[in-house]
Chains A and B, each alone.
Chain A
Amino acid sequence: MNTLRRVFRLAFFYAFQLGFVRPVLKWYWGAHYRRRATLPKGPCIVVANHNSHLDAPLLMTMFPIGRIGQIHPVAAADYFGKTAWRRTTVMVGMNAMGIERTAAPGRDVLQPVVDALEAGKTMIFFPEGSRGTPGVIGSFKPGIGKIVKSVPGVLVVPVFLSGAERSLPRGVSLPLPLGLDVNIGKPRTYSPLLDARDIAGMIRADVLALAPAPPPVPGPRPTPPVRVACCGIDGAANHALFLALTEKLGASGRTIGIADTILESDVAGLRESNGVPLVRSGKVPQALAWVLRTGGMYRGNKFAQMVRRARVDEALQDGRTARFVVGEGSPLVDLLAWGEADFYSGSFDEKGLQQLLLYVSGQRRIPFSQWARFIRKAPEVWLLRVFDLAQPPAPDVLVLTTRDAGSAMERIRSRGRALLSWENEAFLGKLQDGYLQVASVLRKRRIEVVELDALDLDIDRAAEDIEAVCRRLALKGAEAVLGE
């Protein structure tokens, strides 16, 4: 009898999901999912803001059909177990796991969730507890923290849902067809040593970080961010300056740091960012990097990484996400300097450099007659422009760390790893000259250039000086916008 019941339940669940939930969300609401590829293949807890009965179905449909049997939204048993209709649609149709919201003495209501996670299931959890006021993200209850502590190493996927609070908010029975957006964040783990409340607070911050910027009030448009690029042949100095600047500028306004990982900083301090949403996929640059095996600094994955960084920089242009953008390197400056350094067995004179600047920044296209030269000398630039992969913006402040090529080589050798083909004294000297040449070209374009000697570098003092320059530029930008 029980087997028959289980078969009926399973049949109803799949029929409900495939015949109703998925088609309706796709065709009636037209749900959009962003970064679905980041979903882990194994068990995890999906955590989202909660404003509507559409939230759980939306999160279920993020996953491929083959996995939905393993996914359980956690639902309030006292509410959804009340009537036969709710029991059928939610507990059976949505495969929900009911938990009591008020615990009996000596009983842990969250234990079934912990057990399910340990058994390899994926749980959908709304830490706010109930749907709340539309558009308002309430505090996250510490229950989510307790679960994370109980299952050390469990992956938590933050998700921000928008649109459902307008389509079917609490207290409304008529669902309106309005677009639904599901913004999926990077899965991460939390230390089980932390307090459950702190974990809940951190997860809430991760969910909120995925929220789209609200449309600003009518009036002057937001000021574009002030961009700082830390460049030069001394990678360690660049990195230290990048970290110090990102942290320091965070105190003056939200700052995004673009390096191999994206950082963000504000009054709460420096941390790893959940990422900047990008409109275009990274598959094309990856495929091009793999197929064409571009030469020079941007060989293989480095090329795809450079394109991604340029796109992140582009996406921040509207000024709504960040007031300052700090880059460890700059795709534009680096490409120009490497071009100038004669790495591609040719040379760019001053005029050539100006021209290259226009090509790299996307202000001018590479004439067809020049294609052969660019494919040979600067394949990255050619790929970037011909496939319109990105338009790297120029920095407002270029921080150039200089040091003599000999000591730079000593530092590279001291790492103890095999040297790359370009890591030699002669080339580093040329590269340094390239950076200086690029700096002089950028100076003519009224870009602030701060030159620092890497061997005599006081990071804190330098960061303070550059911060003052950035704040002045930010103020100038704001005044310019107000004056329009």
Chain B
Amino acid sequence: MPAIPRLVLIFAATLAIVAPFAVLLGRRGGRYRALPGWIAAWAQFAVLIFALSRLDSTISFTLLGLVMFVALKQYFTLTPLRPQDRWAVLVAYISIPLALWPTWAGSFGLLSVATVIGLFLLIPVLLSIVPRQPGLLDALGRVLLGVLVFVFCAAHFGLMTRLPEGSLELFGITALLADLPQRLTGRIRPGGERVRPLIGLFASVVVAAAVGAALAPFASTASLHGAVAGGVIALAMAGGSLVSDAVAQDLMRTQSDAMMGRAAFLDRTLPAIYAAPFFYHYLRAVAS
């Protein structure tokens, strides 16, 4: 039986330690109320990371594709769409295998061509080809944001499998621990409370940098680059949280909404997905 890599064990242990705290804190209500759902989403995310780093690429990329499909479906379910946007939405779904193929081949250049040049330029054409009606720019923004986050950014998890072994787990552990302080203190929101969320962000950067530095050697990366990558992840996740908050507010959706809690997935998944390209490109371009 092959030995379980140390980072996998550390990731599992981190989850096992954080989960009971999240569940207990969730009972206090208030801003902690979403913590049990958040940790459950992280447990699922951990399964995806383990699958991507340990299983055969055919199986793991199929799983990644399914996760991207479900996330995109949830996003489009929440988003108001015009009937004439159907073809563009369909192309957004079809873009998942188109993005996964270059990812599987490990080529970011091909992913750029397939997503940025192919899809981002094709979708406006598809939205414009139908009988004209007001709201084109709104529809364009909605469809492109979905493709950008849930296809282009999410495809970077596939690309991370080409980084040195352990990088995916390093990302997972760092992102989980970077997210925690921001969840505990509340996120930065325009017009909201400032001091506590800023303390949370600072703590998040410090924790992520420390964890990144400590664990980077297990992923064949220098500690310094691990620390910087951790800081980058923390900041990118704060940016992703801002985006998810703004999108949820724009859609006027909350967890207790009539959509059976579907809106909660934006809050749980978007920050980590948002941070993936930052981490990948930092390690690929700078650290190597």
Contact = CB atoms under 8 A, between A and B. Distances in A.
A368 to B, nearest CB: 11
B89 A176 contact: yes
Most B CB contacts (10 A, CB to CB) among A176, A315, A317 go to A176
Interface string B76-88: 1100110100100
Nearest to A315: B256
A388 B90 contact: no
Interface string A174-189: 1011110100000000
A406 interface: no
Nearest to B27: A388
A365 interface: yes
Given A30-B70, A174-B90, A279 B256 contact: yes
B13 interface: no
Interface string A114-139: 00000000000000000000100000
Interface residues of A, number: 33
A273 to B, nearest CB: 15
B251 A362 contact: no
Interface in B232-259: 250-254, 256-259
B74 A318 contact: no
B86 A215 contact: no
A396 B90 CA distance: 49
A169 interface: yes
A317 to B, nearest CB: 8
Contacts of A166: 81
Contacts of B80: 215
Most A CB contacts (10 A, CB to CB) among B83, B258, B262 go to B258
Most B CB contacts (10 A, CB to CB) among A174, A179, A362 go to A179
A134 B260 contact: no
A391 interface: yes
A87 interface: no
A174 B30 CA distance: 43
A218 interface: yes
Contacts of B251: 215
Contacts of B76: 176-178
B258 A213 contact: yes
Contact of B86 (A172, A212, A277, A363): A172
Interface in B246-283: 250-254, 256-262
A244 B276 CA distance: 58
B86 A386 contact: no
B26 interface: yes
B262 to A, nearest CB: 6
A177 B73 contact: yes
B67 to A, nearest CB: 13
Nearest to A364: B28
B11 interface: no
A93 interface: no
Most A CB contacts (10 A, CB to CB) among B81, B83, B93, B254 go to B83
A376 interface: no
A32 interface: yes
Contacts of B256: 279, 315, 317-318
B28 A365 contact: yes
B171 interface: no
Given A166-B81, A172-B86, A177-B93, A388 B262 contact: no
27 contacts: A30-B70, A134-B83, A166-B81, A169-B83, A174-B90, A176-B90, A177-B73, A177-B76, A177-B93, A178-B76, A179-B73, A179-B77, A181-B259, A212-B259, A215-B253, A216-B252, A317-B256, A318-B254, A362-B29, A363-B30, A365-B28, A385-B27, A386-B27, A388-B26, A388-B27, A388-B28, A388-B29
A-B pairs, 8 with minimum CB distance: A212-B258, A179-B77, A388-B27, A215-B252, A362-B29, A178-B77, A177-B73, A32-B260
